[in-house]
Structure 1
Amino acid sequence: MIPTKLSDTGNRRIAVHLTAADRATQLAADVRQGLTASPKELPPKWFYDETGGQLFDEITRLPEYYPTRRERAILTEHAAEIAAFSRADTLVELGSGTSEKTQLLLNALSDTGTLQRFVPFDVDEAVLRHVADSLATTRPALRVNALVGDFDHHLGHLPRAEARLVAFLGSTIGNMRPDERLGFLARLRATASDGDVLLLGTDLVKDPGRLVAAYDDAAGVTAAFNGNVLTVVNRELDGDLDPDGFAHLAVWDPDAEWIEMRLRSRRAQTARIAALDLTVPFEADEQLRTEISAKFRRDGIEKELANAGWGMTHWWTDPDGDFAVSLSVPA
Structure 2
Amino acid sequence: MTADAPDHPADPRAGDPPGVSVVIPTHNRPELMRLAVESVLSQEAAVTGEVIIVFDACAVEIPEVSLPEGWSLRGLANSRTRGLAGARNSGISDARGEYVAFLDDDDTWLPGKLAAQMDRFAESPQAVAVGTAMVVDNGVEEIVRLAPGETLTHEDFLRNRNPGVHSSSLVFRRSDLLGGLGLIDEELPRSYGEDYDILLRASALGTVAIVNRPLVRVLWNGQSYYFGQWASYAEALQYLLRKHPDFATSPRALGRIEAQVSFALASSGQGRDARAWAWRAIGHDPRQVKAYLATAISLRLLTPNAVTRIVRRVGRGI
User: TM-score, structure 2 length as denominator?
Assistant: 0.31
Greater RCO structure (CA 8 Å; 6+ sep) = 1
| TM-score after normalising by structure 1 | 0.30
